[in-house]
Amino acid sequence: MRILVVEDEKKVASFLQKGLREEGYAVDVAHDGDDGLVKALVNDYDLLVLDVMLPGRSGIEIVRELRSKEKATPVLMLTARDAEQDVVLGLNAGADDYLTKPFGFDELLARVRALLRRGGAARPDRLVYDDVQLDRVEHAAVRRGERLDLTPKEFQLLEFFMVSPEKVVRRTELLEKVWDLTFDPMSNVVDVHVGHLRRKLGRSGDDPLLHTVRGVGYVLRKGGPA
C-alpha cells in the first residue's frame, strides 16, 4: 500500500511518514500543493493524506482537481480545529474523511486503515489463499491455524501477493506499490523481505507458497512457480 502525505509543516510531515512507514506502508511526502497534485496525478497511490492549508494549491483544490480528472484515490483531509467550513468544502469537493489537528497517531492510523479497506468487494476484509488467511481488520495473517509473526512490511507484501494469487508479480511492481520514492532500486531489500516472508510462510506448512520467477519477480502459488 502506497500513501502520499501532502503537508507543509515539515515536523508533522516527517512524523506521519515515519509512523506510517513503521506500519509497513510506502510513504511519499510533498511539502506544497503543486508538488502534491503532480505526485498524486503521476503515481498510483492507494491513499492521500492532504493538509488543507498549503502553499500553492490548497488541499481542497487538489481534491477537486483529482476528482475532475476521475482520480478516485481515497482522501483523508487534515483540517485546523477552528475551520469547520474547510470540512464542508473538502467533503463536497470529494474528500472521503477528515481529521482535525492536533490528532494522535493512533487515530490517524485507524482512519487510514478504514479508508484503505473501503471499496466493497474489491477490498474484502479477509483474503484467503490455500491454507493462508489474511485479516485486514485485525491486521493478522494465519496459516493452518497458526498465526504468522510478520513485520508490518512483510504483512504488506503478503497482502499484495494475496490480492492476486497465482499471478506473477514483477519486482518493479513491488517497488512501486510497497516501497516509496526514496527507495534505491538497485538494493536487494525486496529480495530480502520476500525471503523472510517465504521462510515464515514455510514454517507453518510444507509448501512455502511464495516462489521466485527468475528474472521476473515472484508468485504466490500452491505447488511451485509452474
Task: List residues binding Ca ion (CB under 5 A).
Answer: 8, 51, 53
Closer residue to Ca ion in complex, CB, 54/134: 54
CB of 103 vs Ca ion, minimal distance in Å: 14
Closer residue to Ca ion in complex, CB, 50/209: 50
CB of 101 vs Ca ion, minimal distance in Å: 9
Closer residue to Ca ion in complex, CB, 26/54: 54
CB of 187 vs Ca ion, minimal distance in Å: 33
CB atoms within 10 A of CB 174: 21
Grid cell for residue 90: 473538502
CB of 54 vs Ca ion, minimal distance in Å: 6
CB of 8 vs Ca ion, minimal distance in Å: 5
Kindly write down the DSSP assignment for every residue of the chain, as one continuous string: -EEEEE-S-HHHHHHHHHHHHHTT-EEEEESSHHHHHHHHHHS--SEEEEESS-SSS-HHHHHHHHHHTT----EEEEE-TT-HHHHHHHHHHT--EEEESS--HHHHHHHHHHHHH-SGGGS-SEEEETTEEEETTTTEEEETTEE----HHHHHHHHHHHHSTTSPEEHHHHHHHTS-TTS-TTSSHHHHHHHHHHHHHHHTSS---EEEETTTEEEE-TTS--
CB of 2 vs Ca ion, minimal distance in Å: 22
Closer residue to Ca ion in complex, CB, 32/207: 32
Asked if 1 and 47 touch (Cβ cutoff 8 Å), the reply is yes
Closer residue to Ca ion in complex, CB, 8/34: 8
Closer residue to Ca ion in complex, CB, 8/65: 8
**162, amino acid identity:** M
Cis peptide bond N-terminal to 102, omega within 30: yes
